[in-house]
């Protein structure tokens, strides 16, 4: 592989981005190596990176790469693909991973709102728990009903792309 793909190269924009992305990812409670993998794939230009290459360029164990790529795939951040004639899987990030993230987030919000609705039927209306669960329900409803985030994002991209 060429040196430009190496994360450890001094002054490399990829190194800078991968490490900063991992910093932010980790502040959300996720693993730093998971953030480094996501950051690396976000700026990858090769059309896919093997688990072996990720382990090598990130200085991570093959086991860690396997664990965290599975998690990223399950959460919709990364896709596993095959190249014609090759047995190895490669990992890529979708062009609009953030739009997919919004759809996953909306699904999460709908599930939380439904859980709160069911809990409100079971919690004593005179208790502090009822107030907390009501706020949970109404927050989820407010986000879903007042902010069609994925639709707004699609509309934003259309406007952006119509005016290059």
Q: pLDDT of 45-96, one tens digit each?
A: 988 999 999 999 999 999 999 999 999 998 888 999 998 888 999 999 988 8
Greater confidence, 77 or 148? Answer: 77
pLDDT at residue 22, as a whole number: 96
> 131, 100, 85: which is closest to 38 by C-alpha?
100
pLDDT at residue 4, as a whole number: 41
pLDDT at residue 1, as a whole number: 39
> 92, 107, 99: which is closest to 49 by C-alpha?
92
Buried/exposed code over 107-145 (b: 16+ C-beta within 10 A; e: otherwise): eebeebbeebeebeeebeeeeeeeeebeebbeebbebee
Query: Across residues 23-33, what is the average pLDDT?
Result: 93
């Amino acid at each position: 592989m060429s040196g430009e793909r190496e994360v450890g190269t001094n002054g490399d924009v990829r190194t800078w981005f991968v490490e900063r992305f991992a910093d932010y990812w980790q502040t959300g409670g996720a693993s730093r190596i998971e953030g480094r993998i996501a950051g690396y794939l976000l700026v990858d230009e090769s059309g896919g990176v093997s688990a072996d290459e990720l382990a090598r360029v990130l200085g991570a164990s093959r086991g860690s790469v396997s664990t965290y790529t599975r998690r990223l795939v399950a959460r919709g951040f990364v896709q596993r693909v095959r190249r014609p004639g090759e047995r190895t899987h490669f990992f890529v990030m979708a062009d609009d991973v953030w739009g997919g993230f919004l759809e996953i987030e909306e699904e999460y919000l709908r599930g939380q709102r439904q859980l709160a609705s069911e809990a409100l039927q079971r919690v004593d209306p005179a208790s502090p728990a009822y107030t907390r669960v009501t706020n949970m329900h109404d927050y989820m409803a407010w986000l879903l009903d007042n902010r069609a985030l994925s639709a707004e994002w699609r509309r934003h991209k259309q406007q952006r792309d119509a005016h290059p």
